[in-house]
Structure 1
């Protein structure tokens, strides 16, 4: 490579942090570098508006970040494909179509999945809540189809509860033949505060969501789910929202992992020099945090600055995650629950606040 040849910067995945990096490049380009984005699809859905989309408050188009337009505006190349492995020694990203892309500096922002392939029948008959693109397409088709609507959501975390309330709200506006069940092998919302648990439980009840705790789902069938005690539950839309699971291919990156997530230090750099990871696919070894989009948003300016420094050889900057943040939970209709520093509040005004935050985020693009 000659001195004047642009450095190759590869962004693997179109997650929130990478979308913000592309946005920032409109006013502050990466000097001496060409940026390539690899993403399966030319758009990336915004997770913050997913419950609102499921409930019918937003259109599918409003959910999407237009990566193609972002890339075009900053002179970046968007490759509509999926990464399947990386070789940090050779500095290569291998794609599903068989191509290999070389890089000088790279960043990974591919999010997580809630795929539950180990559960018999789920791959054939279930729908993972993540990746969001696949889920939103299948939900749209189910919601607009004819006939009774019987939904089962496996996984009683806050994401599963939000989806349950949104689905119940949307479906009951269409037909009376509706049932929505939220199932968990333990106690729902166990990772949340007592205040959040109390409020969300009330809202689940108000949305006529049937909560089933201490149940063990052993199979998904064409007509529903089977529990360990032999009980069968009718469902024609089964959603997997249990846990935050890394994508399988991340095992093939050659990077150090923690429970399948890419380990990063204070600078967001992985075990390979010049390879960074951000968003839910990353595990911050110095300051572990739960999987939440607010961290990806705050990581964006730091990873962009460190991409610049990695190109120039300058010292990298540290990222310091916030200790607390405003947690906003959609409650089915145009109502939401908010919590920060022990204070909790719910209602239409909280929804309006959440809606403004989400729309302001999307309007950047």
Structure 2
């Protein structure tokens, strides 16, 4: 801690006691002042002692202001009756009013100040004291208390808004981190899932055919090697894009749909593609989303369908892009109950939802699995949701 810090801490600790000391001196010495302006100085030990009691009571004004004020008012009344009222007692009353106003609402504080100020007229009637000065003293205490209370409330409100803004920034930062992680996870899944499935499939074929059918084993190993290179290349491109979004060849899109179809064809899957409308010059996000949806849907068709064929329909509309993928289901998957962990479907749903589109999927009851994704291109309705059917 710095030297200034050591100085500031004792000063903050001493401030309340300095305030107590000042109040005590003013109240006690007020008992030695003349009763009226221009009056002669009269030393009265009884009045000084009475004021010392009032000053001692004021020491509890910060902890129990609503108890201290009526006690001080009672002392003022007693002093007027016994003839010991003096200029120090209105000061004590004003300090007690100040402490109460700090701890109540503006309306209650103003009403209380007015009532106590009116009570200070009593010494005029009982003791003939100049009550006008006493009233002004009490009003001044209430006014100062209200000013300090307002200032403290303003500072507290500003501090609370600053803290809330900081919490909001932290929450938004955490949300952005979570969204980034989710996007990376989706991209990794899209990049890796299909190639790993191909590697796993052909590695099994190679293992079973190694002795009896070495030619088939060699063909499968060639496919495994090619898929391995492809997945490593795609992961490298993804990492380069994460490091520098402007680097690399740019994000994928429907312009690479032919490459995706050829890749599935090399694994024995016939994919028929039909494009309706003008799908050129699509915005980047819908373009990438459409390709990833098709790629993941075909991967699922290859893994969980018959693996032989699939139909892809891309409809480019003025304000939306619809992708429909249809494939025959395997006998065990007619009801969609054997689709693995469904991570692919979950990822597609999250990807479509991120662009405020809709996703529906499920069997049609005729041995076919249909997946339909609607991706907005222009302005979208915030109420659009992602749906799924099992």
Normalising by the smaller structure, the TM-score range is under 0.3
More helix by share: 2
- Structure number with higher relative contact order (C-alpha < 8 Å, ≥ 6 residues apart): 1
Comparing both structures, which one devotes a greater share of its residues to strand? Answer: 1
TM-score w.r.t. the length of structure 2 is: 0.21
Which of 1 and 2 has greater Rg? 2
